[in-house]
Amino acid sequence: AQSVAQPEDQVNVAEGNPLTVKCTYSVSGNPYLFWYVQYPNRGLQFLLKYITGDNLVKGSYGFEAEFNKSQTSFHLKKPSALVSDSALYFCAVSPRTYKYIFGTGTRLKVLA
Partner 1 sequence: EAQVTQNPRYLITVTGKKLTVTCSQNMNHEYMSWYRQDPGLGLRQIYYSMNVEVTDKGDVPEGYKVSRKEKRNFPLILESPSPNQTSLYFCASTPGQTLGTDTQYFGPGTRLTVL
Residues near partner 1 (CB under 8 A): 4, 6, 31-32, 34, 36, 41-46, 49, 51, 90, 92, 94-105
Question: Distance from CA of residue 81 to its chain's centroid?
Answer: 15
CB of 105 to partner 1, least distance (A): 5
Nearest distance, CB of residue 71 and partner 1, angstroms: 21
H or E element in which residue 30 lies: none
Q: Which helix (H) or strand (E) holds 59?
A: none
Q: Which of 1, 6, 51 has its CA nearest to residue 31? A: 51
By C-beta, is 20 or 94 nearer to partner 1? 94
Nearest distance, CB of residue 19 and partner 1, angstroms: 20
Least gap, CB of 17 to partner 1 (angstroms): 26
What are the angstrom distances between the C-alpha of 47 and each of 50, 51, 70, 79? 11, 14, 23, 15
55 or 97, CB closer to partner 1?
97
* Residue number with CB closer to partner 1 (77 or 107): 107
CA 9 to chain centroid, in Å, comes to 13
